[in-house]
Amino acid sequence: MSQTVPVHVLAAFGLAPDTAIQVLHGGHINDTYLAGEKFVLQRINRFVFPHPEHIMDNMLGVSQFLREKVLARGGDPNREILQVVLTTQGAPAYISPEGEFWRCTRNIVNAASYETPDSPQMLQEAGRAFGEFQAMLAGYPAATLREIIPNFHNTPARMEQLKAAVAAAPKGRLAEVRAELDFAMAREERAGLLTSLLAEGKLPLRVTHNDTKMSNILFDDETKKAVCVIDLDTVMPGLTAFDFGDSIRAGASTAAEDETDLSKVRFDLDLYRAYTQGFVSAAGAALTPTELDTLPDGAWAMTFEVGVRFLTDYLNGDVYFRTAHPQHNLDRARNQFCLVEQMERQREEMGRIVREAAQG
């Protein structure tokens, strides 16, 4: 990733050529920079997002809709909602002469994102924020949303991508991942649970965030309250269980997603309980009994699925996720599968915790 933002990009958003630039780490996909104190610039990954203009359509629509909701409840939309900054020409993004796609959003000051929670209270806050996000979007005209990445959380489709990667993989990498591959293949049937329930009409399609990891929430520096949900790139129709589940995979683990010492990677039921209480208290009233029942399956599915995706990318030669070293995607896959195994053992308890939270 380049450490600078070209001056013509700054100029496109009306920023001076000497604006201080700071690289923001965290995401695996786009390059993100803080420009001065007020703006965040992002270079969108065009391999992952072949139609970034569709992301901007979604972002503008969703943020406008959310602004009104926040205003109606007496909140501060400038702090609680991610805001797109238009170019000096009034466009939602700037396409550079080299074909790079740049967008700008307002930076939310005195707030920060966290890879892992500082405390169970913080995770409960994250649950409340994502639960509220989904509840606020309940009335959004889903048909107007662009499908940014088709089959994004279609776990069976992700299994097919893994198989295709296996068929094309160099022998060396294939031999290295034998155990992980066996692990994934043994769970193929279970991977289809949620998509089958959706196809059978037993789960409703909602407007969801689809990338609800902890680090996609900004917390107020002082109060430690969740102030704003960020990264609206994958807001699309989806299942409640996806949003709940992706948060659990990232938030209820005691270690980072790429921790290689697996003895440190523990699925923590207290963290799980905290998130569940926050999420269910904010979104729960609108959820159907089947949605509530399958929340734990969402945690399993999102953890398993991203493990499959990391493994696939490893076999494909690391073309999708940003990696810092050659084993990085494999490390991530092993880490996620370690959590999957623990969730399988605790499925019953996970269900009990959801029922308790739903009873208030």
- Contacting residues toward ligand GN1, per CB under 6 A: 27-29, 48, 211, 213, 231, 233-234, 257, 306
Q: Of 47, 50, 43, which is closest to residue 4 (Cα–Cα)?
A: 43
**Total binding residues toward Mg ion, as defined by CB under 5 A:** 2
Beta carbon of residue 236, minimum distance to ligand GN1 (angstroms, whole number): 11
Query: Interface with Mg ion includes 231 (CB under 5 A)?
Result: yes
Which CB, 21 or 149, lies closer to ligand GN1? 149
Q: Of 304, 320, 331, 336, which is closest to residue 28 (Cα–Cα)?
A: 320
Give the C-alpha separation, 286 to 75, whole Å: 22
Beta carbon of residue 234, minimum distance to Mg ion (angstroms, whole number): 6
Which CB, 35 or 148, lies closer to ligand GN1? 148
β-sheet bridge partners, residue 31:
43
Contacted by 45, from ligand GN1, Mg ion, none: CB < 5 to 8 Å by type: none
Which CB, 36 or 54, lies closer to ligand GN1? 54
Decide: 203 and 237 in contact? Cβ < 8 Å.
no
Which CB, 235 or 306, lies closer to ligand GN1? 306
Beta carbon of residue 234, minimum distance to ligand GN1 (angstroms, whole number): 5
Which CB, 48 or 60, lies closer to ligand GN1? 48
Beta carbon of residue 213, minimum distance to Mg ion (angstroms, whole number): 8
Containing H/E element for 84?
Answer: strand 84-85
Q: With 0-12 CB in 10 A as exposed, 13-18 as middle and 19+ as buried, what is 171?
A: exposed
Give the C-alpha separation, 236 to 205, whole Å: 10
Q: Of 275, 243, 216, which is closest to residue 82 (Cα–Cα)?
A: 216
CA distances from 316 to 15, 243, 310 (A): 39, 27, 10
CA distances from 317 to 170, 201, 243, 326, 337 (A): 9, 38, 28, 9, 20
* List 31, 80, 125, 211, residue binding Mg ion (CB under 5 A): 211
Contacted by 31, from ligand GN1, Mg ion, none: CB < 5 to 8 Å by type: none
Beta carbon of residue 183, minimum distance to ligand GN1 (angstroms, whole number): 18
Query: Residues in the chain, how many?
Result: 360
Beta carbon of residue 149, minimum distance to ligand GN1 (angstroms, whole number): 6
- Give buried/exposed letters for 21-46 (b at 16+ CB in 10 A, else e): eeeeeebbbbbbbbbeeebbbbbbbe
Contacted by 48, from ligand GN1, Mg ion, none: CB < 5 to 8 Å by type: ligand GN1
Residue 286's φ and ψ, nearest 5 degrees, are -90, -5
Which CB, 65 or 152, lies closer to Mg ion? 152
Which CB, 232 or 357, lies closer to ligand GN1? 232
Beta carbon of residue 216, minimum distance to Mg ion (angstroms, whole number): 7
Contacted by 184, from Mg ion, ligand GN1, none: CB < 5 to 8 Å by type: none
Decide: 216 and 229 in contact? Cβ < 8 Å.
yes
Contacted by 87, from Mg ion, ligand GN1, none: CB < 5 to 8 Å by type: none
Give the C-alpha separation, 81 to 113, whole Å: 15
DSSP 287: -
Beta carbon of residue 118, minimum distance to Mg ion (angstroms, whole number): 22
Which CB, 69 or 153, lies closer to ligand GN1? 153
Contacted by 28, from ligand GN1, Mg ion, none: CB < 5 to 8 Å by type: ligand GN1
β-sheet bridge partners, residue 226:
219
Which CB, 231 or 243, lies closer to ligand GN1? 231
Query: Interface with Mg ion includes 257 (CB under 5 A)?
Result: no
DSSP 264-283: G--B-HHHHHHHHHHHHHHH
Contacted by 257, from Mg ion, ligand GN1, none: CB < 5 to 8 Å by type: ligand GN1
Interface positions with Mg ion (CB under 5 A): 211, 231
